[in-house]
Amino acid sequence: MEKRRVVITGIGAVSPLGNDAYTSWENAVAGKNGIGPLTRVNADDFPAKVAAEVKDFDPTNFIDKKDVRKMDRFTHYAVASALMAVQDSNLTIDDSNADRVGVWIGSGIGGMETFEKQFESFLNRGYRRVSPFFVPMMIPDMAAGQVSIFLGAKGFNSCTVTACATGTNSIGDAFKVIQRGDADVMISGGTEAPITRMSIAGFCANTALSKNPDPETASRPFDKERDGFVIGEGAGIVVLEELEHALKRGAKIYAEVVGYGATGDAYHITAPAPEGEGGARAMKMAIDDAGITPDKIGYINAHGTSTDYNDKFETAAIKKVFGDHAYQLAVSSTKSMTGHLLGAAGAVEAIFTAMALKEGILPPTMNLKNPDPDCDLDYVPNEARKVNITYAMSNSLGFGGHNATLVLKKYE
């Protein structure tokens, strides 16, 4: 059976670089920094002093005030991004197509802020003071649930939780749903609101976060001076659509999704497998799924977290998969500007990758001043680059050894 072709027809985002996808993309191309002082929690309590926070976002622009109170922030970001993506795609969902429109949105942590607040209420005032909305606000699938309610999308509905690979896995899995014929449209991506006391405490305790107090230079993927990632928040949502369905309604097309790979390291709960062995297999699987050879890839939006092992091993994995071509292709980490959005990262980065193909411009890796000798590829340092490419790849690697890769193609 011939595989159905899948294209991206709508994009929506709330990110540290802007409260919509276009602003986020334009600021990424301009090399703007979305990282600032940590304000959502008391920075004096932690060694990490900076974060990539969403700024000036008002959920009541998208959601009724009484409903806002029944949702965690990670769901606010997802609903807003999904509404923007569907509007951008000019898609109408009604009785004629609702059961063929699905939702697949993941979150790495879910409603951590809700959990903390409600646990405090429980400790101080007993179970009667815990909100009846506590569980439905906290569980990670509620972003997908609320988006389907808001949009009336009654098709395939799911949620992925694969730590920092969540956004990429979600889009990849949704792509497969359409490809095999179980839906015509999927609203998919990732969302996260992890800037809370307990998640900052946990990441500080396992020494994953940068201690650099300077927001301008704290996130510096592939740089010798890197010392950890900068925690971020937000959401990225794409509208995926079967090609003929999109053409029939005259939809605009950002890019085609052509390949997806997902693997497990089977190695360690937080550290990547040596030399990025699992990530290399995910990249190879995605290339094979796309039916192309590695030399066709012109650009990789790397996971590039600004942590010691990730950047070194992802570079090694790229060399393993691409051989000599590793030095011909461009690689960049937009986390140098957005920070690390955990479960939302791969989705926002998929949007950036699609835009890079559509507009013929590669976003830079900022703050790359002292290259690590182990990281010796072309990381598009410090300024965007105009170059037309046909195929691009986006990588995400998560705690638990989850690796996910998407291959996108310029649509012509």
**Which stretch of DSSP H or E encloses residue 393?**
strand 391-398
From 164, 245, 375, 402, active-site residue = 164
| Alpha-carbon separation of residue 325 from 190, 313, 319, 328 (angstroms) | 31, 17, 8, 5
Copy the structure tokens of residue 126: 């007993």
How far apart are the C-alpha atoms of 318 and 314, rounded to whole Å?
A: 6
CB 265 within 8 A of CB 277: yes
> Catalytic residue among 159, 303, 375, 402, which?
303
**Unique residue bearing structure tokens 């990849």:** 172
Q: What's CA 162's distance to the chain center, in Å? A: 12
Amino acid identity at 124:
N
Please compute, for residue 231, the number of CA atoms within 13 A of its CA located in the half-sphere on the CB side.
Answer: 30
- Quick check: 161 and 390 in contact, CB under 8 A? no
Q: Are the C-beta atoms of residues 331 and 149 closer than 8 Å to each other?
A: no
Name the active-site residue from 76, 340, 375, 402.
Answer: 340
Instruction: Output DSSP code: residue 171.
Output: H
Q: Is 402 a catalytic residue?
A: no
* Whole-number Å distance between alpha carbons of 173 and 240: 11
Could you give the count of Cα atoms lying within 13 Å of 122 in the half-sphere of its Cβ? 11
Reported as type and span, the H/E element at residue 213 is: none
159 catalytic? Reply is no
For the question of residue 204 being annotated catalytic, the response is no
Of the candidates 268, 363, 378, the residue with the CA atom closest to the CA atom of residue 315: 378
CA gap 401, 163 in Å, rounded: 9
Residue type, 369: K
> By three-state DSSP, how is residue 223 classified?
strand
CB atoms within 10 A of CB 150: 18
Residue 390 CA to residue 292 CA, distance in Å, equals: 11
Would you say the C-alpha torsion 218, 223, 227, 229 has a positive or negative sign? positive
Cα separation, 297 vs 288, in Å, equals 12
Active site residues: 164, 303, 340
